Structure 1
Amino acid sequence: MTVPTPSMLQHFHILTLTHRNAKLKEIGELVTAFEGGDGLHERLAQLRDRGMVNEIFYSSTCNRILLLFTTDQKVDDVFKSSLLPFPAAGLTRLKHLSGLRAIRHLYEVAGSIDSLVVGERQILGQLRESQERCWKWGLIGDDLRIICNQAVLAAKDIYANTRIGEKSVSVVSLSMQQLQRYAPSRKARILLVGAGQTNLLVTKFLRKQGYANVTIANRTVKRAEQLVSGFENGRALSLGELSDYRDGFDVLFVCTAAAHATITPELFGSLLAGESPKDKIVVDLGVPADVAESTIARYEFTYIAIEHLRALAEENMDFRRREVDLAHEIIERHLVETETLYQTRLIERAMVEVPGQIKAIRHNAVNKVFRKELEDLDPQARELMDRMLQYMEKRCIGIPMQAAREAVLSPRPAAPQRKSTAEAIS
């Protein structure tokens, strides 16, 4: 029997477009074009039914689109144009990987090495959801099941044995970490100015930390009401009402889309409602800064600025990047294990008919070749013979499988070293 070789992995392919070679807006447009509303299942199934792919796995995020599939066809521009309903410009930038390179890339994605934010664990969850969906649709068979499961194991190994996910690189998360250094009470009065995406994330952290007294002021009150819902003592205001706000605050988060500073000395003094500024914490997440420099100069308060948070985020990202080399070593080890696992699986597939063939040989021997001789035996002898044949059948079924596995798993002997001429003569 021929032992499978790594070349048998060459029918694995990946087509991908990522943040590395396209703008996020372009990726979003391609995702929309491919998914086509609720037509993703039908489109993927058509690719399989047309014989273009044998198995297929599809996943998309805000910064990548990825198609992992198996096929024996040549994956060239003609193949890609018939596979994907993308504009020509999108097709030319699609990155094509095959064999171990494709599998390595999948492991790098799962382990967040290839992410826009290195160490971002959410990507693994997104890949697992995509795998479950494609499996449910009947698009994933034995080949992609093995590879996708191994990708999950490789990612978990990376997260468990490197520090790639440590040290937050999210500005909002870092702002909350900085806030906790000052240990504000869970009963603290929290005032948010602005209700955009950044402050939406802030409210999620505040809920998780158990804060209840939250007031949100925004240009549109309806948006503020959406963000403040769920807080025990939540209140929504318009920005126009902010100058009349007299309930004070302990922590102020501010992040607006304004081109000029929102928190002027006059407004800040009004928001203090007669209280001392010394114990106040202000978290400014605006770009440009929402707290005027004149406000910082006039009042003495704890100021957490976005520039400091950005510098800290970049420092933490550098730390994560230094863990990438170790993560790559883990991936290489898993690639070796994947080759062995896949080779073993190919042998199991090839051996699936062996039990039936052995049973057929036994049946032929008993009922044709040695039928007359067996008829001459007494019942006890025939029963003994039947038990012996059953025993040998069961034992023989396992022998070739075990031998094949040992052939794959055992290390290859080193090539013998050639003797020198002097050694050969002696």
Structure 2
Amino acid sequence: MLQHVHILTLTHRHAKLKAIGTIVAAFEAEDKLRERLTSLKEDGKVDEIFYLSTCNRITLLFTTHKKVDQKFREALLPSSDIPAAMAEMEHLSGMKAVYHLFEVAGSIDSLVVGERQILGQFREAYERCREWGLIGDDLRIVCNRIVLAAKDVYSSTRIGEKSVSVVSLSMQQLQKLQPGADARILMIGAGQTNLLVTKFLKKAGHQHLTVFNRTQERAQNLSNAFPKGAGYALSEISSYEEGFDVLIVCTGSAEPTVTPELFHWLLAGDDPRDKVVIDLGVPADVAESTVAGHEFEYVGIEQLRALAEENMGFRREEIKRAHGVLHKHLGELETAYRQRLLERAMSHLPQEIKAIKHTAVNQIFAKEIKDLDPDTRDLMLRMMSYMEKRCIGIPMKAAREAILN
């Protein structure tokens, strides 16, 4: 079933992100993705094609009756643009290909199991390829079922529960401590991790954020999203005298950033027992002597990692239930596709039956019908129209029942 459906994919499971990036760059270079994909269809290399790229995978889903070998792979891109990583792409066909995409959209094959972002990325990629005229009847049926299966996984299992992101977990811990919306939040570091943290803080309604970073511009960029925001160069931190309620630290430093001396200075005379310190640095940005020397709420990366692994164990158990959901949808896809094949095969029936009726009325029995009185002629034509519809519906119904059984 669906043996003409193929996938070529490379993911975080089998390759370095750099290798994946070379293939993405080859397809998307110079904003010519649409042109490259369209040419594959127009040249007859594929009948339909769907393209998905994320930060940790690239997937080409397509239909073709050609042999998908090395020569086929090399024909996907101009010869001068073929990256070596193309040879590493895994090839799946038929229901194995479909099931793989079930796992992708259902986040079972994701870098972070249970994260729903991939389903949104899948739908956006599908809509884009549909608008470009690359999606036909077969991939429409397949992709629609993939979306339904993924939604069913999220609604029928608990695979998305219990966060496994250390940033999310740190913010959950912060929420439990209930700092007010106007709590003074002091952030050291303006990298990707703290960028994600600021999104949580903004969503939670926090107003006051002061950021220190080696580059002042990045510090200001993070703080600008807050009504009471300010960004400074890290070199100015020894002059900071406004105190804090929550301290969030994540830098790339190999040595602790928050020493006991700096922590005492940042307190600005406040009682440390009322403070929250979140350390997301690897290695730790808050010195052990700082933690040991004061009583405050401390949330560290090792504590968060342990909780993340515990939650990931929970999600792994839910994967078993998710597979049951996906297998159900795989069977439903087979039935739906068989029905669609039947509809295609029998699509000519209505016109053929209409043609038979037209020939009977206008040629074979034309003289006899002409001699009938108007009422009889009208009754006969209505009877023929009724029989025409029945002759179309009966075999279609019988065939559908045969497929379902």
| TM superposition score category, shorter chain reference | over 0.9
How many Å separate the matches in 2 of 1:88 and 1:356? 51
Amino acid at match of 2:39: Q
Counterpart check, 1:248 vs 2:243: yes
Cα displacement string for residues 244-272 of structure 1 (whole angstroms, at most 9, x for unaligned residues): 11111000000011111110111111100
Residue 33 (structure 2) aligns with: 40
How many Å separate the matches in 2 of 1:72 and 1:271? 68
Residue 314 (structure 1) aligns with: 309
* Paired residue secondary structure (1:198): helix
Residue 28 (structure 1) aligns with: 21
Counterpart check, 1:139 vs 2:165: no
Counterpart check, 1:17 vs 2:18: no
* Paired residue secondary structure (2:269): coil
Larger deviation, residues 109-118 vs 389-398: 389-398
Q: CA deviation at 1:80?
A: 1.1
* Paired residue secondary structure (1:323): helix
How many Å separate the matches in 1 of 2:31 and 2:104? 25
Cα displacement string for residues 104-133 of structure 1 (whole angstroms, at most 9, x for unaligned residues): 001110101111111111000000000000
Picking from 362, 375, 381, the partner of 2:376 is 381
How many Å separate the matches in 2 of 1:90 and 1:187? 51
Amino acid at match of 1:36: A
Counterpart check, 1:83 vs 2:65: no
How many Å separate the matches in 1 of 2:287 and 2:5? 56
Q: CA deviation at 1:379?
A: 1.6
Counterpart check, 1:192 vs 2:217: no
Matches within 5 A, 1:338-349: 338-349=333-344
How many Å separate the matches in 2 of 1:369 and 1:395? 22
Identity %: 65
Matches within 5 A, 1:260-299: 260-299=255-294
Cα displacement string for residues 133-163 of structure 1 (whole angstroms, at most 9, x for unaligned residues): 0000000011000100000000001001111
Amino acid at match of 1:106: L
Q: CA deviation at 1:183?
A: 1.2
* Unpaired stretches in structure 2, ≥5 consecutive residues: none
Q: CA deviation at 1:186?
A: 1.4
Residue 389 (structure 2) aligns with: 394
Residue 167 (structure 1) aligns with: 162
Decide whether the 8 Å contact of 2:26 with 2:83 is kept in 1. Answer: no
Query: What is the CA RMSD across the aligned residues, in angstroms?
Result: 1.1
Residue 51 (structure 2) aligns with: 58
Picking from 401, 404, 421, the partner of 2:399 is 404
How many Å separate the matches in 2 of 1:83 and 1:238? 48
Q: CA deviation at 1:84?
A: 4.0
Amino acid at match of 1:318: G
Amino acid at match of 2:60: L
Cα displacement string for residues 342-395 of structure 1 (whole angstroms, at most 9, x for unaligned residues): 000111111211111111000100111111211221122111111111111122
Structure 1 ranges of 4+ moved more than 6 A: none
Residue 422 (structure 1) aligns with: none
Picking from 69, 74, 96, the partner of 2:91 is 96
Cα displacement string for residues 294-321 of structure 1 (whole angstroms, at most 9, x for unaligned residues): 2122222111101110111111111111
Q: CA deviation at 1:91?
A: 2.7
Decide whether the 8 Å contact of 2:212 with 2:231 is kept in 1. Answer: yes
Decide whether the 8 Å contact of 2:23 with 2:86 is kept in 1. Answer: no
* Paired residue secondary structure (1:217): strand
Q: Count the aligned residue pairs.
A: 403
* Unpaired stretches in structure 1, ≥5 consecutive residues: 1-5, 411-426
* Paired residue secondary structure (2:272): coil
Counterpart check, 1:157 vs 2:155: no
Amino acid at match of 1:302: E
Amino acid at match of 2:24: V
How many Å separate the matches in 1 of 2:104 and 2:254? 37
Amino acid at match of 1:15: L
Decide whether the 8 Å contact of 2:26 with 2:82 is kept in 1. Answer: no
How many Å separate the matches in 1 of 2:83 and 2:299? 47
Larger deviation, residues 295-304 vs 15-24: 295-304
Larger deviation, residues 69-78 vs 386-395: 386-395
How many Å separate the matches in 1 of 2:53 and 2:18? 13
TM-score by length of 1: 0.93
Counterpart check, 1:115 vs 2:143: no
Residue 228 (structure 2) aligns with: 233
How many Å separate the matches in 1 of 2:180 and 2:129? 47
How many Å separate the matches in 1 of 2:127 and 2:321? 29
Counterpart check, 1:218 vs 2:213: yes
